[in-house]
Amino acid sequence: MANLADENKFFADVCKNFDSAAQFTNHPEGLLNQIKTCNSVYRFQFPIRRGNGFEVIDAWRVEHSHHMSPTKGGIRYSEMVNEDEVMALAALMTYKCAIVNVPFGGAKGGIKINTKQYSVAELETITRRYTTELIKKNFIGPGIDVPAPDYGSGEREMSWIADTYMTMNPGQLDALGCVTGKPIALHGIRGRKEATGRGVAYAVRECVEVAEDMAKIGFKAGLGDKRVIVQGLGNVGYHSAKFLAEFGATIVGLCEFEGAIYNPNGLNVDEVFAHRKNTGSILGFPGAKDFKNSMEGLEQDCDIIVPAALENQFTELNIRNIKAKIIAEGANGPTTPEAETIFTEMGGIIIPDMYCNAGGVTVSYFEWLKNLSHVAFGRMENRYAANSNANLINTLENLTGKTILPEHRLMIVKGASEMELVNSGLEDTMIHSYHEIRETLMNKPATQTLRTAAFVNSIDKIAVSYMNLGVWP
């Protein structure tokens, strides 16, 4: 049995952050308790056949808040997952959705397995049985609770979930809206896979563009001179590093479970990714210094760190060794409250997870809308926009007697694709939400951190929803 004391800390940390922010609001204690409490916790077990025997699988689905419907959150496949972690992640989803103005309540799922120890057929059996259990208890549906990928799961698993739900709900028009993160062929949405990492990059870019805030920590505004270390080379970490590099930052360090590499002159993320694919490790990459201890890689000289792996990576035991001035939380809960207090006292800025990694749920919202409308974004207006722009260009050429170069014409005339519309919506969401958080921090300086300010905004929005709903009966 796992140590229960160790298993019951993450949700307590989330509640601790909530309580720190709640003091800056004027809502009654009973309402605050309602917002903080998990509304529904479903813990269940189911058997599967393995070889000549059976194995019992532990699983959870937590719906944290019903102030908005449906609830929304990923399903984590991990042998380390436990009820406390799922509750904490569900709560963070509630606050995350409120911060980026996505009309969902928060939820999360967990299946306690090591995916590497199961065949594809066994994983399909586990996923479909898990989905069936959710259906039986009314814990899934396009208007009820909409899962998504998380650590250990992806498009494949979401396809199995969608197929299982549709099979058991024949004729339901909006059935595909029961889950997001699906492949494009199953009416997923372009841009979903890289959305979380792209959102992290937008969040970091927006933070460092505020010259006043950068001056306080001795930085110039902009990403051009910023050195970044990224922890994790999975979906979130890879895309965070990729887009930050595209925006002008220099990736100087990459950390994985097998170790870390560092090059003060910069690393090519795609080349490192290819090296790991070929060798099984990021270690030994040409021109980079190796660290067998991954945490040691995080302690190297840099300006920004992006932890994009698991929770509790920065604690009071190691936070003082971090040389970065900005921590952008690509993962959920990578910094403990105690570590955040110390880092803030050191003059650092933490871009909190509940905002920083909200790109995934934002684009999941777009996918859900696409599934409910039964039409791809841009399909109705793309050609109309292109033709209208072409007519405008032709009119200008006729009036001026000058011809626009073909490459320039193409740029102007072209209508927006689904991917471009998704990225535009994501970028606008991340920009607006960051400045909304920062404005609260400026107006209420006692909040001290972006995380507390984000919590304040989230609590206020959820409180309004609950008060408008009322209590029945």
The CB density around residue 27, as the number of other CB atoms within 10 Å, is 17
CATH 3.40.630.10 for domain 38-184, yes or no, is: no
Establish whether domains 38-184 and 189-378+416-473 are of one fold.
yes
The CB density around residue 403, as the number of other CB atoms within 10 Å, is 10
Summarize pLDDT for 259-268 with one digit per residue, the tens. 999 999 999 9
In the chain, the amino acid numbered 167 is T
Strand order through the sheet with 40-50: 40-50, 53-63, 105-111, 71-77, 145-149
96 among the known binding-site residues? yes
CB-side exposure of 333: number of CA atoms within 13 Å? 22
Greatest alpha-carbon span in the chain: 81
Q: Quick check: is 16 catalytic?
A: no
Q: Where are the domains positioned within the chain? A: 38-184, 189-378+416-473
**Overall residue count recorded for the chain in this entry:** 473
In the chain, the amino acid numbered 242 is K
Alpha helices in 282-328 (DSSP H): 294-298
Domain 189-378+416-473, architecture per CATH:
3-Layer(aba) Sandwich (3.40)
pLDDT at 8: 64
In the chain, the amino acid numbered 281 is S
Contact 145, 139 (CB under 8 A): yes
Measured CA to CA, the distance from residue 392 to residue 409 in angstroms comes to: 11
Which tokens sit at 5?
């004391």
pLDDT at 6: 52
**CB-based contacts of 182: which residues, under 8 Å, 6+ apart?**
155, 158, 159, 162, 176, 188, 367
Give backbone dihedrals phi and psi of 364, rounded to 5 degrees, phi first.
-60, -40
443 among the known binding-site residues? no
Which candidate, 379, 367, 320, places its Cα nearest to that of 344? 320
Cis bond before residue 473 (omega within 30° of 0): yes
pLDDT at 5: 44
Is beta strand 250-256 parallel, antiparallel or unpaired with respect to 259-262?
Answer: antiparallel
Summarize pLDDT for 420-432 with one digit per residue, the tens. 999 999 999 999 9
216 among the known binding-site residues? no
Measured CA to CA, the distance from residue 350 to residue 328 in angstroms comes to: 6
**CB-based contacts of 62: which residues, under 8 Å, 6+ apart?**
38, 40, 41, 42, 73, 83, 86, 87, 89, 90, 107, 108, 109
H or E stretch covering 85: helix 83-99
Give residue for tokens 């970065």: 324
Residue by residue, pLDDT tens for the chain (473 residues) are 344 445 568 899 899 999 999 999 999 999 999 999 999 999 999 999 998 999 999 999 999 999 999 999 999 999 999 999 999 999 999 999 999 999 999 999 999 999 999 999 999 999 999 999 999 999 999 999 999 999 899 999 999 999 999 999 999 999 999 999 999 999 999 999 999 999 999 999 999 999 999 999 999 999 999 999 999 998 999 999 999 999 999 999 999 999 999 999 999 999 999 999 999 999 999 999 999 999 999 999 999 999 998 788 999 999 999 999 999 999 988 999 899 999 999 999 999 999 999 999 999 999 999 999 999 998 888 888 889 988 999 999 999 999 989 888 888 888 889 999 999 999 999 999 999 999 999 999 999 999 999 999 999 999 999 999 988 77
**Active site residue: 108, 182, 226, 325, which one?**
108
Q: Label residue 306 left, alpha or beta by phi (over 0 means left) and psi (-120 to 50 means alpha).
A: beta
Give backbone dihedrals phi and psi of 51, rounded to 5 degrees, phi first.
60, -125
pLDDT at 463: 97
72 among the known binding-site residues? yes
pTM: 0.92
pLDDT at 3: 44
Which candidate, 459, 436, 439, 465, places its Cα nearest to that of 25? 459
Give backbone dihedrals phi and psi of 215, rounded to 5 degrees, phi first.
-60, -35
137 among the known binding-site residues? no
